[in-house]
């Protein structure tokens, strides 16, 4: 038994069994199973299998309703719960549960655009458009020209969480990923893209830390300018009173996230972990604040040292998920961007011990984390984010040792599963 366990752990450590063909084969199988399950869930939530007691909806109903209120000339009502709920009901069904809208008026610029379309058309158009933006960014991040990469990209379970919930995490991951791709070569353009993340401002928490620590002042200034421009445009179109309404609502939004109105099993952050395990809000905020400070310090150190772009980019993408309290399963799209950067880093010499096993864990966790979290209070998704950040720190440690001229252990399995072709698994 112990010998078998040792062989198993050794295989996980090396990861040599997880070659290109196996990665693609497993991803194809998973994608087919996910697509079938997704179709079944769509049928079930629309009452096509058994009658439903109450109509269901998605988060996109919140976006669409806010956009329709903006199109009607009353954007401030997006932050009035009664008016916003009424717009959701008109767009979908009178019996739906209310979906909150805590986004700044910057996001109304996009919501208003899609609200010109019929609801279902707008839903599909929004998800496909943002997915179409995300996929080329992901391919460029991996430095992979083979279109076969689309299979694992689409098979990542967070893709289906995003589609099923009608969320905007394709857009968030695409903006962050594109800005990171450009930060060294086109810093001003990178900063302009970073600034667009002000539509979801908490995801920009660590961006100033990284850019300032790394001395990327042109990107820093461009990001500030970009954010100011889109905020100014939203004020010009929707009025300052809309911003006042947003700030009033946003200041009380913590009650929604503390209360369990959103299932704690769906959280990825340390805050959600503590709440899922039964800890109170005060302790959850203490753990979250401590984590944020530590992660911010590590991000600053990594960017200050001028490590390779893959390590810096992966640190910022992963660190963001740890540093902010409101991060949900669909936001793991950003974690996939981080994984792709680490895969890119491995192309020059192979994978670190446990790295492939860690990637596999992060990849598969979104399938089970909600169920295990609800049933057993196990915070698998936050654990996956911690595992990914540990892999980032391991890569950073190795680079620092190389810079100091210290001997470092040889990497395991120099064969890359995605970029290299024609290998047997």
Residue 255, pLDDT score: 87
Residue 13, pLDDT score: 67
Asked, for residue 52, whether it belongs to a domain, the answer is no
Of 262, 259, 287, 261, residue with least CA distance to 273 = 287
Q: How far is CA 264 from CA 1, 127, 162, 272, 381, in A?
A: 37, 25, 17, 6, 11
Asked, for residue 306, whether it belongs to a domain, the answer is yes
Of 150, 32, 30, 34, residue with least CA distance to 418 = 150
Residue 415, pLDDT score: 39
Asked, for residue 336, whether it belongs to a domain, the answer is yes
Of 253, 247, 237, 248, residue with least CA distance to 74 = 237
Asked, for residue 347, whether it belongs to a domain, the answer is yes
Q: Is 278 left (phi over 0), alpha (psi -120 to 50) or beta?
A: left
Asked, for residue 275, whether it belongs to a domain, the answer is yes
Q: Would you write out the chain's pLDDT as a tens digit for each of its 425 residues? A: 666 567 566 667 676 667 778 888 999 999 999 999 999 888 877 677 767 777 888 999 999 999 999 999 999 999 999 999 999 999 999 999 999 999 999 999 999 999 999 999 999 999 999 999 999 999 999 988 788 899 999 999 999 999 999 999 999 999 999 999 999 999 999 999 999 999 999 999 999 999 999 999 999 999 999 999 999 999 999 999 999 999 999 998 888 888 888 899 999 999 999 999 999 999 999 999 999 999 999 999 999 999 999 999 999 999 999 999 999 999 999 999 999 999 998 877 678 788 888 999 999 999 999 999 999 999 999 999 999 999 999 999 999 988 777 655 555 554 334 434 333 33
Residue 282, pLDDT score: 95
Report the distance separating Cα 9 and Cα 315, nearest Å.
Answer: 26
Write out the two tokens for 292.
């944020």
* Domain carrying residue 338: 260-404
Asked, for residue 45, whether it belongs to a domain, the answer is no
Give the count of domains, the chain.
1
Asked, for residue 245, whether it belongs to a domain, the answer is no
Check: CB of residue 326 under 8 Å from CB of residue 250.
no
Instruction: Give the up-direction half-sphere exposure of residue 252: CA atoms within 13 A in the CB hemisphere.
Output: 8
Asked, for residue 83, whether it belongs to a domain, the answer is no
């Amino acid at each position: 038994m112990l010998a078998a366990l040792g062989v198993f752990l050794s295989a996980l450590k090396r990861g040599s069994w997880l070659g290109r063909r196996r990665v693609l084969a497993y991803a194809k199988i998973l994608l087919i199973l996910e697509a079938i399950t997704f179709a079944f869930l769509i049928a079930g939530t629309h009452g096509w299998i058994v009658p439903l007691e109450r109509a269901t909806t998605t988060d996109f109903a919140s976006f669409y309703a806010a956009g329709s209120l903006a199109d009607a000339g009353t954007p401030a009502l997006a932050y009035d719960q009664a008016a916003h709920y009424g717009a959701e009901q008109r767009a979908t069904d009178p019996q739906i549960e209310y979906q909150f809208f805590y986004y700044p008026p910057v996001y109304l610029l996009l919501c208003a655009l899609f609200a010109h379309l019929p609801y279902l058309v707008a839903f599909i158009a929004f998800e496909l458009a943002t997915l179409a933006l995300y996929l080329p960014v992901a391919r460029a991040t991996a430095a992979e020209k083979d279109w076969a990469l689309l299979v694992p990209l689409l098979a990542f379970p967070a893709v289906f969480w995003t589609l099923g919930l009608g969320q905007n995490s394709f857009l968030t991951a695409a903006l962050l990923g594109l800005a990171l791709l450009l930060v060294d070569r086109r810093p001003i353009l990178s900063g302009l893209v970073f600034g667009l993340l002000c539509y979801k401002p908490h995801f920009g928490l660590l961006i100033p830390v990284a850019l300032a620590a790394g001395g990327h002042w042109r990107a820093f200034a461009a990001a500030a300018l970009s954010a100011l421009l889109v905020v100014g445009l939203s004020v010009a179109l929707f009025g300052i009173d809309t911003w006042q309404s947003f700030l009033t609502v946003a200041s009380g939004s913590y009650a929604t996230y503390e209360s369990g109105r959103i299932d704690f099993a769906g959280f990825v952050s340390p805050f959600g972990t503590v709440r899922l395990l039964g800890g109170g809000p005060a302790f959850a905020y203490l753990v979250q604040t401590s984590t944020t400070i530590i992660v911010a310090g590590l991000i600053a150190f990594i960017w200050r040292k001028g490590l390779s772009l893959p390590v810096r980019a992966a640190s910022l993408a992963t660190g963001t998920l740890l540093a902010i309290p409101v991060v949900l399963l669909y936001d793991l799209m950003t974690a996939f961007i981080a994984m792709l950067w680490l895969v890119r880093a491995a192309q020059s010499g192979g994978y670190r011990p446990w790295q492939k096993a860690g990637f596999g864990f992060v990849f598969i966790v979104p399938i089970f984390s909600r169920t295990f979290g609800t049933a057993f209070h196990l915070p698998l998704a936050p654990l996956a984010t911690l595992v990914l950040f540990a892999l980032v720190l391991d890569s950073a440690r190795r680079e620092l040792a190389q810079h100091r001229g210290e001997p470092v252990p040889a990497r395991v399995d120099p064969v890359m599963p995605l970029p290299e072709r024609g290998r047997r698994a």
